[in-house]
Structure 1
């Protein structure tokens, strides 16, 4: 690299004086969403990214011959691992796909080695959670808490209004993009384009420790069968599960290949740790490939069966090794809130959630 990456030190994080208060507010919003949806559905779903569009099994390969600066954490040892990928939309309720929201991907890599993060000591997995946009909609946990509090009041209500608002916001967002700008807030409220999930690039948005350094992660589609879908608009008219349908069609026919890439932090001023709304400049520090996810052709969703896998799985940025410790206030707030969501689902559904150690343990 032309510029040396910043070395990790605990001092890169700054804990706000009112962080405990913010966390309590976030947990209240999570509980409100979980209480509302579980009563309405008679079944508990995730407080965020509740609706899955596909769950697929694959193989993750750590690249060989990485230079020392990239051979960090779980990427220090070349090899293959079983992995399971979940594709979703970010709302906490199960919405018609005509309410167009940002897409998400959660990647769980099995059988990784290394000292474990707090709360993950008894597992051997590494999770990565990513969204199809390079920056978070809120700069910090306090701003995120305010947004989530508003969303919690509309969870599973006014479905027709949400559809109409989403259609309007998509027009506004398209107008902004036509003049070279965009709004993460509008996308989060329903203004995201109904793009094909398999053609998108997904970003961690928040920073993580990368062994001796600091980085953000991203998952890039690289197979031609995926890249041809980039920017493809899905017809969501009168198709409540349109995204699940198009994902299933493509993965049954083709499978897919993605590259996991890292963007090393080279300047704490322009690549801040505590402001997740700042996109790190890719010209200053480009994403570099450290691994590959390969998914063979398979059925990505089967009604009556995939729901069991949904109930058995939980994802969190805090499922992992110390060398990939989540950094920044947004990530710190995720630990207890995601634990709350998983524990609630397990208790309500009568199916305690355990981290798998091998693929055969996944329903």
Structure 2
């Protein structure tokens, strides 16, 4: 009798587990189905909302100037938060791997349609300064996931400068980082994002309220993609302007990509990634120790306004299928000694600004308008604090 009771009990428990397993399995399938349906609906909605044609002129929203002033105060607060005992750092891209001299040579057979601004004269070689950096506002180990930056400054550029009080500069700057799109769309979103980060609330940068309509999940994924593992060397990374610029009468974005075919074959010795500054060491190894140059191509992607290539939303990547990149110049970094106390101090004091340049390459779009206000204010603040 006891045995029969136990058999019945085991049978009942077995059926219970089978039914529970079946229920959980069906629930999981339903959740997967709903997830796929949600993904499909959101993809269709995104494609519907993000389709061409788009304006070719800037669309300045009301209140942008006031928001920019608030962002300046927040950026200055970040500079104060991240200062070191002896100096004030940049509010972004604080850690440099080095500033090096470079030659930027316009292609000799450049298409006439691409002969704009500093690329107007085929075969022309510009002397330049290149700063390579990490993206974070605070110097950290190079092994930590981060964006990487390149700022390229062409020297002795003739013509009227965009900023009235900078006419003595005679420069053209290209400011880029290692991802094709940005994790904010416009100035309003940037103000909310940087404010949350300055308050130490990074999660709220993308989830500003309990209302799901305010959540910026897509931008969160862009930010996570931007924080990529460190490359073997700063010379092995592709850098993007992210925001658009005038290119003569057209609108365009810039890209600088490695061009190993234009340099002697070189294999970088394996670096110790446990060292905090191994990217500087890698750059030094190639240029100073092994005396091997680094080569890049400077490319232009012109806007096709019939497709979704907006100039006011930097979170949207301009697809190469809509508009390919065209090479306009070659960039060569010759072997050199750059890692000295004097040169590192000069590098730290060097200012790079997309508004240092000529009208043919005028920055456009909300994020670039914001840069005009913030870069100058933060640079002035930092230099005044670092002055002896």
Does 2:320 match 1:282?
Answer: yes
1:296 aligns with 2:296: no
Q: 2:185 aligns with which of 139, 142, 151?
A: 139
Alpha carbons of structure 1 residues 275 and 308: separation in structure 2 relative to 1, 3 Å: same
Q: Is the 8 A contact 1:199 1:228 kept in 2?
A: no
Q: Does 1:67 align with 2:111?
A: yes
TM-score, structure 1 as length reference: 0.79
Q: CA deviation at 1:259?
A: 1.0
**Cα shift readout 1:176-233 (whole Å, capped 9, x = no counterpart):** xxxxxx9321145xx4212232111111011000011111000011025699889x99
Q: Which residue in 2 is equivalent to 1:90?
A: 135
Question: Which has the greater radius of gyration?
Answer: 2
| CA-to-aligned-CA distance 1:213-265 (integer Å, 9 cap, x gap) | 111000011025699889x996533x211211112112222121111110011
| CA drift at 1:113 | 2.2
Structure 1 position 305, deviation (Å): 2.6
Residue in 2 that maps onto 1:53? 97
Q: What is the number of equivalent residue pairs in this alignment?
A: 312
Report how far residue 21 of structure 1 moved.
2.7
The question of whether the paired residues in 2 share the 8 Å contact of 1:193 and 1:233 is answered with no
CA positional deviation for 1:83:
0.4
Cα gap change, 1:125 to 1:92, in 2 (>3 Å): same
Deviation at 1:332, TM superposition (A): 0.3
Q: Distance in 2 between matches of 1:141 and 1:52?
A: 26
Displacement, 1:24? 1.9
Change (3 A) 1:111 1:19: same
Structure 1, gaps ≥5 residues long? 1-8, 156-181, 352-363
Change (3 A) 1:333 1:268: farther
Distance 1:102 1:77, change over 3 A: same
Unaligned runs of 5+ in 2: 1-54, 202-219
1:316 aligns with 2:316: no
Q: Does 1:251 align with 2:297?
A: no
* d(CA) in 1 for partners of 2:338, 2:200: 30
Residue 114 of structure 2: SS of its match in structure 1? coil
Deviates more, 1:191-200 or 1:277-286: 191-200
**What's 2:221 paired with?**
183
CA contact (8 A) 1:130 1:202 kept: yes
Deviations 1:333-356 (A, max 9, x none): 0011110121122211117xxxxx
* Pairing 1:35–2:85 present: no
Any conservation in 2 of the 1:106–1:128 contact (CA below 8 Å)? Answer: yes
What's the C-alpha RMSD, in Å, of the aligned pairs?
Answer: 2.7
**1:206 lines up with 2:252 in the alignment:** no
Quote how far apart the aligned CAs of 1:317 are. Answer: 0.3
